[in-house]
Chains A and B, each alone.
Chain A
């Protein structure tokens, strides 16, 4: 009986066409998703500043942009009664303020802070531990 990969493949193709095809398609798709995962991984590594969304809290945003939570807290004019644990969307609902406007104000405050410190984005220090308001 002849052996070797080519012969085996030919035989498989003749007798088990569907099985061989689905095997190859599955492998190709797996490769596709591995490549996609790698692309997102590289993106994830290079983008730490996450666009502000309604589900984020003050301290989450501060963590993402590596600034003092107080900076974000003050930017949207929250009262100084300790840390606010609400997501932005709830602050927006409960205090009757548009979300976009709050996001813009926060970004402006962060940009001003970065400019004032004159530190390039990549060299920003770690955020202040979140336990201290």
Chain B
């Protein structure tokens, strides 16, 4: 599956890779990091133009991010005055807005390049909670630029056996994302441990 996808990319070139990155950013599993590593490795051998690869890749990621953001925003807009679960969720999301204006930017930034598996859900959540669009776009662009740079440089430097390297990095970023969630849960637990009588949930 991965091999066929890469072959397709090789046939249709860098714009096809950008499209793959956009689809990956929407949340459909795609070998995005492998594609970026391969671009870097090909550039290292003089077989790909690194600057155009970079620009296309950042554009593709940003397109996917924006799609996620606007889907999240639209769905919540439609749902907020509806009864039932979705409506309740939408009203809760609205309540989280002040928090998000404060922390959303760094969340978007870090989920682009460090906790990458969290990227797509953060896109939808940012739209749903109406995180300000310029903030989302700016931090998103900064994060994607960093992510694309890291992977292209890694591909460029190591230059061979990219698929095994992609496996290493994929598992590592999954572990990092889980550790970030664990840190958040641990923080809430610490909070709960200090005042256990206030929130006796069962």
Residues in A lying within 8 Å of B, measured CB to CB: 8, 11-12, 15-20, 22-23, 26-27, 29-31, 33-34, 36-37, 40-41, 43-44, 47-50, 53-55, 57, 59-60, 63-64, 83, 85, 87-90, 93, 130-131
Contact = CB atoms under 8 A, between A and B. Distances in A.
Given A54-B7, A55-B6, A55-B10, A23 B46 contact: no
Given A15-B200, A19-B192, A53-B6, A26 B181 contact: yes
B175 A34 contact: yes
A5 B75 CA distance: 44
Contacts, number: 131
A59 B189 contact: no
B175 A30 contact: yes
Contacts of B181: 26
B165 interface: yes
B42 A60 contact: yes
Contact of B160 (A22, A48, A89, A130): A48
B51 interface: no
Interface in B5-50: 6-7, 9-11, 38, 41-42, 44-48
Task: Name A's interface SS.
Answer: helix
A15 B201 contact: yes
B196 interface: yes
Contacts of A60: 41-42, 45, 47, 159-160
Contacts of B189: 12, 16, 19-20, 23
A29 B178 contact: yes
A55 B188 CA distance: 47
B171 A90 contact: no
A16 B168 contact: no
